Structure 1
Amino acid sequence: MEIVVTGRHTQIKQKFRDVVESKMNRVTAIAPDAQRAQVVLTHEGNPRQADTARRVEITVVAGRTVVRAEASSADELSALDMALDKLTLRLRRARDRRKDHRRGYVPMHQLEGMVESPETDSDDGVDGEPVTSPEAAVASDLGPGESVEVQVGDTPIVIRRKLHIAEPMSIDEALYEMELIGHDFFLFVNKATGRPSVVYHRHGWSYGVFEIDTPENMAQIKESGK
């Protein structure tokens, strides 16, 4: 399994790389088909957030499944352990679901664009051209997996835009994908309606679904149904 370790606002020490290498066997033990693992260590410089100053994000590609987990702590090794605990739990869920032939579920998303890499995760713009304004970040053309990030003036606000390629899926499949990557929401194309949609956590075991359409398209649907 290829392991890529990168840092944001921090330098990666060799000791941390060595610990990551030694502990990632927990991943291969559960997902022997894992092809790539990306570990991103981020340092938060705000002294008020000292207890969560180090955040570790781990993304694993196993076959056509992408599983993600993150955790924060005062030091990077503790954050790594907590992120690995979350990741291995989600990997077990993915493995168990693949074994459940009664559900017959196969992840529908395309692999391209689902994993961030050092080549695409930068603020240098697209095709090496710098991006200097929020308008440029939104207006620039992106290819699958490409991203662009720009800071708004002298403020701490950062706008990041990325293009993902994904095949349409059902609501049940979208909920499953959301749980695997550990987000509170998941953007997808509903294969039943063809509309861009979002599933999200509400509270407890309650979920919500947003669908987006245009007035023009709705008018056409209404007209065709007459």
Structure 2
Amino acid sequence: MEIVVTGRHTQIKQRFRDVADTKMNRVTAIAPDAQRVQIVLSHEGNPKQADTAKRVEITVIAGRTVVRAEASSADEFSALDLALDKLTLRLRRARDRRKDHRRGYTNPVPVDMGVVVPETAPEAKEPEDSVPSDSPAAALASELGPGESVEVQVGDTPIVIRRKLHLAEPMSIDEALYEMELIGHDFFLFVNKETNRPSVVYHRHGWSYGVFEIDTPENVSK
């Protein structure tokens, strides 16, 4: 298994690399098919956030499955331990889920919160020659290839918008919930293979989940 350790706004010490390499044995014990582990250590320079100054993000790639966890602490070693605890829990859930599906068990499907239909009137298109080719609007509207990304700054503000094209196979709501849990997010964007609509599953509270589906009034009226 390949282990890649990188730093963001900080230098990686050899001791941290050695400790991280050793602790990744926990990953191979649960997921022997893991091919690559990416560990990113970042540093927050704000003195008011000293208790969470070190942040560790761990991403495990095993075939088409991606499992991710992150944690922050006052030092990089405790942050690594916290992130690894979250990661191993998600890896165990993924392993147990595969076992359950081989036995014919299917997780309950969450309640669909219904279709969200945009009701706002379409915006009037501006003439193409009114948008400079080097403007943020032009960059965000440019064509992207799979995996490509673009970042633009909004005027003189510190706001930076990052746009990326990600290709994904349509999936069911149950599969989207599974992917959301693996990456540790509160929401997950996907294409619903039952309706072929862009959709979002999200965590509400407890074991309750919601589903948003996006469509146009023209398609709904067909």
Partner Cα distance (2:145, 2:65) in 1: 21
Structure 1 residues 133 and 14: CA distance shift in structure 2, 3 A: farther
Matched-pair contact (CA < 8 Å) for 1:137–1:159:
no
Amino acid at match of 1:10: T
C-alpha spacing 1:134/1:191, structure 2 compared with 1 (3 Å): same
Match of 1:143 among 132, 136, 145: 145
One-letter code of the match for 2:32? P
1:104 shift after superposition: 6.9
Partner of 2:68: 68
In 2, the alpha carbon distance for the partners of 1:138 and 1:49 equals 33
CA shift, 1:67, in A, is 0.5
Quickly say closer, same or farther: Cα 1:22–1:140, change in 2 above 3 A.
farther
| Aligned twin of 1:214 | 216
Q: Which consecutive unaligned segments of at least 5 residues does structure 2 have?
A: 108-133
Counterparts in 2 of 1:28-177, with a 5 A limit? 28-100=28-100, 101=102, 102-103=104-105, 134-152=136-154, 155-177=157-179
Q: Secondary structure at the match of 1:33?
A: coil
Gaps of 5+ in 1: 106-131, 222-226
Question: Which amino acid in the other structure matches residue 62 of structure 1?
Answer: A
RMSD: 2.1
Contact 1:2 1:37 in 2 (8 A): yes
Write the deviation string for residues 134-191 of structure 1: whole angstroms up to 9, x where unpaired: 4355223322222233444554433222221111111111111101110000000001
- Alignment-mate amino acid for residue 65 of structure 1: T
Taking structure 1 as the reference length, the TM-score comes to 0.79
Tell me which amino acid in the other structure corresponds to 2:77: L
Matched residues, number: 195
For 1:155 and 1:78, the matched residues in 2 are separated by 35
> 3-state DSSP class of the match of 2:35?
strand
Aligned partner of residue 166 in structure 2, secondary structure: coil
Identical positions, percent = 86
Counterpart Cα distance in 1 of 2:135 and 2:48: 29
TM-score w.r.t. length of structure 2: 0.81
- For 1:197, the equivalent position in structure 2 comes to 199
| 1:82 partner amino acid | L
Q: Which residue of 1 aligns with 2:11?
A: 11
The structure with the larger Rg is 2
SS in 2 for 1:34: coil
